[in-house]
Structure 1
Amino acid sequence: MATQLASNKGDDARILSSAVAKIAEFWGLSNAKLGIVLGLSQATVSRLRSGQTTLDPASKSFEAGQFLLRLFRSLDALLGSDDAASRRWLDVANLDLDARPIDLIDSFKGLLTVCDYVDAHRARV
């Protein structure tokens, strides 16, 4: 049973790490930017993107990765799977948030705020 749980955590880490790398690619996030969002060094992000390492399920970086995935999925649903529109939305100053969402996601609190904002708009649809 313990081996199976460890295996599931390893699968979760691999899947989330792969998803985060793909999100970074879709949104054009540099290693430096993704590192800031996840709280990781550029070197670690480089290894993550190449599949040489995964996010640790017990880490804050893993949790940040989960929220980044949540944001991606929420924007994807809201904007009809248009990656370019999602990227533009992130880059444009948002009057409600009083900042560009791409700048807010640099902190964990900002990432949560942007996720909650997008989810609130999804709920209205």
Structure 2
Amino acid sequence: MTLRAQKQLNDRTRVLTTAALRAADALGLSGKDLALILGVSEPTISRMKKHEFELEEGSKPFELAALFVRFFRSLDAITGGDDKVSRAWLRNENKALGGRPLDSIKKIPGLTNGLAYLDSRRAPL
């Protein structure tokens, strides 16, 4: 791998790791919540916050982080960037999703269903 290719890889991992942490912060998620969403341990989330760990490209946590960031961006677009509204939406029952979105996104099917739901609300035909 060339030095340039390695730098691009490092940039992608750093950017996605940071984006996932910022999305979790905006949504008021605990380290435990984010760990469950990404499929990593709470200590790993702590190391991510200290810039001691970055998600590895191609790994399942990396892919889940990409889905989570997409989920956040869709919700953020719908709520007009109002973190308070986004946090409330995440913590309240949603009949279409069969419960609280915060509970469902901790499992892969719930995260993908939640993302599909938000995307469909964002761009109705």
- TM-score, normalised relative to structure 1: 0.94
Q: Which residue of 1 aligns with 2:12?
A: 12
Q: Which residue of 2 aligns with 1:25?
A: 25
* Partner SS state of residue 37, structure 2: helix
Distance in 2 (CA, whole Å) between partners of 1:122 and 1:47 is 34
Q: Do residues 54 (structure 1) and 61 (structure 2) align?
A: no
- Structure 1: runs of 5 or more not aligned: none
Count of residues paired in the alignment: 125
Distance in 2 (CA, whole Å) between partners of 1:85 and 1:49 is 25
Q: CA deviation at 1:26?
A: 1.3
Q: CA deviation at 1:2?
A: 3.3
Q: CA deviation at 1:31?
A: 1.2
- TM-score, normalised relative to structure 2: 0.94
Q: Do residues 90 (structure 1) and 90 (structure 2) align?
A: yes
Q: Indicate the percent of aligned positions where both proteins have the same amino acid.
A: 38
Q: Which residue of 2 aligns with 1:2?
A: 2
Give the letter aligned to residue 122 of structure 2: R
Distance in 2 (CA, whole Å) between partners of 1:58 and 1:73 is 21
Q: CA deviation at 1:71?
A: 0.8
- Kindly report structure 1 stretches of 4+ aligned residues shifted beyond 4 Å: none
Distance in 1 (CA, whole Å) between partners of 2:58 and 2:2 is 16
Distance in 1 (CA, whole Å) between partners of 2:65 and 2:112 is 11
Q: Which residue of 2 aligns with 1:81?
A: 81
Give the letter aligned to residue 113 of structure 2: T
Distance in 1 (CA, whole Å) between partners of 2:44 and 2:2 is 28
Distance in 1 (CA, whole Å) between partners of 2:5 and 2:101 is 36
Distance in 1 (CA, whole Å) between partners of 2:3 and 2:63 is 23
* Partner SS state of residue 112, structure 1: helix
Distance in 2 (CA, whole Å) between partners of 1:99 and 1:5 is 43
Distance in 2 (CA, whole Å) between partners of 1:61 and 1:31 is 14
Q: Which residue of 2 aligns with 1:116?
A: 116
Q: Which residue of 1 aligns with 2:36?
A: 36
- Structure 2: runs of 5 or more not aligned: none
